[in-house]
Amino acid sequence: MRISTSLNVFDSGIARTEAVRRCAAAGFVSLDMNYWDYQKQLMQTSVNEEEAWAREIRDTADSCGVRFTQMHGPVHGTTFTDLDWDDSLESFERMLERSLRTAHILGVPWVVFHPANISKIGSGSRDEIIEFNARFYKKFVPILEETGVGIALENNCLNRLFFPSYFALPEDLIELIDTLNHPLIGACWDTGHGIIESVNQKEAIVALGKRLKATHIQDNNGKKDQHLLPYQGSIDWKEVVQALVAIGYEGDFTYETHNSVRNLPDEIRDAGLRYSYELGNYVLSLGKQP
Ligand SMILES: [Zn+2]
| pLDDT, tens digit (0-9, with 9 covering 90-100), for 90-111 | 999 999 999 999 999 999 999 9
| pLDDT of 16 strictly over 70 | yes
How does pLDDT run across 154-171, given as a tens digit for each residue? 999 877 666 677 899 999
- Give the Å distance between the CA of 189 and the centre of ligand 1: 8
Up-side HSE of residue 283: CA atoms within 13 Å toward CB? 29
Q: What is the band of 202 on the pLDDT scale with cuts at 50, 70, 90?
A: very high
- Give the Å distance between the CA of 139 and the centre of ligand 1: 23
Q: What is the mean pLDDT of residues 29-54?
A: 96
Please tell me the predicted confidence (pLDDT) of residue 115: 95
- Give the Å distance between the CA of 129 and the centre of ligand 1: 21
According to CATH, the topology of domain 3-288 is TIM Barrel (3.20.20)
Alpha-carbon torsion, ordered 233, 234, 240, 241, to 10 deg: 50
Q: What is the band of 131 on the pLDDT scale with cuts at 50, 70, 90?
A: very high
Please tell me the predicted confidence (pLDDT) of residue 259: 95
- Give the Å distance between the CA of 256 and the centre of ligand 1: 7
Q: What is the band of 77 on the pLDDT scale with cuts at 50, 70, 90?
A: confident
| pLDDT of 82 strictly over 90 | no
Please tell me the predicted confidence (pLDDT) of residue 105: 98
- Give the Å distance between the CA of 70 and the centre of ligand 1: 12
- Give the Å distance between the CA of 200 and the centre of ligand 1: 17
Distance of alpha carbon 54 from alpha carbon 27, whole angstroms: 22
Please tell me the predicted confidence (pLDDT) of residue 101: 98
Q: Are 4 and 255 in contact (CB under 8 A)?
A: yes
Other CB atoms closer than 10 Å to residue 118's CB: what's the count? 15
Q: Are 187 and 154 in contact (CB under 8 A)?
A: yes
- Give the Å distance between the CA of 254 and the centre of ligand 1: 10
- Give the Å distance between the CA of 61 and the centre of ligand 1: 23
Average confidence score pLDDT of the chain: 95
- Range among 83-97, 111-125, 174-188 rated most confident: 174-188
- Give the Å distance between the CA of 137 and the centre of ligand 1: 18
Please tell me the predicted confidence (pLDDT) of residue 79: 87
Sign of CA dihedral 254, 149, 130, 88: positive
Q: What is the mean pLDDT of residues 19-38?
A: 97
| pLDDT of 87 strictly over 90 | no
Q: Which residues surround ligand 1, an ion (CB under 5 A)?
A: 190, 216, 256
How does pLDDT run across 203-222, given as a tens digit for each residue? 999 999 999 999 999 999 99
Please tell me the predicted confidence (pLDDT) of residue 263: 95
Q: What is the mean pLDDT of residues 59-70?
A: 98
Q: Give the contacts of 276 (CB within 8 A, at least 6 positions apart).
A: 5, 9, 26, 229, 255, 257, 260, 261
**Which one is predicted more confidently, 289 or 23?**
23
Please tell me the predicted confidence (pLDDT) of residue 63: 98
- Give the Å distance between the CA of 143 and the centre of ligand 1: 24
| pLDDT of 122 strictly over 70 | no
DSSP 147-183: H--EEEEEP--S-TTTS--SSSSHHHHHHHHHHH--T
Q: What is the mean pLDDT of residues 22-47?
A: 96
- Give the Å distance between the CA of 72 and the centre of ligand 1: 8
- Give the Å distance between the CA of 115 and the centre of ligand 1: 12
- Give the Å distance between the CA of 213 and the centre of ligand 1: 13
Alpha-carbon torsion, ordered 206, 207, 212, 215, to 10 deg: -70
Listed residue (267, 251, 261, 279) closest to 30, CA to CA? 251
Please tell me the predicted confidence (pLDDT) of residue 102: 98
What are the domain boundaries of the chain?
A: 3-288
- Give the Å distance between the CA of 51 and the centre of ligand 1: 25
Please tell me the predicted confidence (pLDDT) of residue 161: 65
CA separation, residue 76 to residues 25, 39, 96 (Å): 34, 10, 9
Q: What is the mean pLDDT of residues 49-63?
A: 98
Interhelix angle for 266-285 vs 16-25, to 10°? 50
First to last CA, the chain: 18
Please tell me the predicted confidence (pLDDT) of residue 162: 66
